Amino acid sequence: MSQWRSNEFLRDDWGHLALGVVLVAMSPYRPTRYLVLAGTVCGSFVAGLALYQSVYFATPLSPITFAIVAAIPVVALSLAGAAYAHAATQSRARWRAAALRFGKGDEGEASPTMLAKPQRVRLLNGEVMPLLERILNRDSISAPDASDAASVAAIARSIMVAEANRTWLDAVIAAHAANFLVAGREGIRKSAVRDDARLSDAMDFQQRTAIRALLGAIFTHPEFLASRFSAAVAVLPGGHKRLLIEAIFGTPERANSSLKQWPFGPSLRWSVQRAIGHLLTVTQRAFPWQDVIMDSSGSALKLTLRFSYGH
């Protein structure tokens, strides 16, 4: 407006570019619909200014051309900001859905008590109820009944001890292991988790939520091989702790085959990256340090994740 009737060239104007940059800067804080609407209104405004000033421009072009050239930076940058806002919103929504889906118990954590419930039901139906029925039918307690009662008590005690010794990481992975058994798939090995010192319990709530969601995405991948999964927590020099997760992807036929003509290499890598990529962004913010390695040189894709915490 300050150059009205004296602006001879559109190419040296900076107002429409600055307006587009402002719209991009607003993308983390405004919804997608707002950015699209703002870009349309601002683009129409600068296009109108260029259209009315076209008679004073030195370049011999049609007024519509000047309007389009002036509006393109504003509209393009606003659409870029809207695309970023949409992608960020969808990524957060997927992360939250995964965390809520695979989180159980208080504050979204998998409860060891809930995970042990099937064991308690089997103990009650298979051991306790038959014992009580025998005692009620005879209306007396025999020496074999006392021996059976002691055996049932020992089993119940072992279940409670196992619950007390189970770490947070054990509980989360045990929940997924139960899902594999229900689905009739090969399950996760009992020795897959190594956290004897209960180091995973030192993670804060944000780190636990991020790891839970990441494990959920890994375990639900259609080509995940549960029997070859492992997780370990150790203390490194300096006192900080490190979580190591190793997962193998590929159908059992692919993983056991020595043939190289399987056309799954790049597509499998892409599908794994698509499944966990947005969650790795979350873990990068939750942990001071992380390392991600994907090795597809063999007949299956090996994913290695390292997270450091407790600094």
Give the pLDDT score at 243: 93
Give the pLDDT score at 227: 84
Give the pLDDT score at 192: 81
* Percentage of residues in the chain having pLDDT higher than 90: 14
Mean pLDDT, each 10-residue run in order, the chain (311 residues):
54 72 88 90 84 66 79 89 87 70 44 48 67 77 79 69 68 72 61 82 89 89 87 86 91 48 61 89 91 82 91 72
Give the pLDDT score at 80: 92
Give the pLDDT score at 7: 56
Residues 219-235: pLDDT tens digits?
888 888 888 899 999 88
Give the pLDDT score at 20: 85
- The dihedral built from the CA positions of residue 249, 250, 252 and 255, taken in this order, carries a sign that is negative
pTM: 0.51
Give the pLDDT score at 263: 45
Give the pLDDT score at 159: 59
Give the pLDDT score at 29: 86
Give the pLDDT score at 27: 86
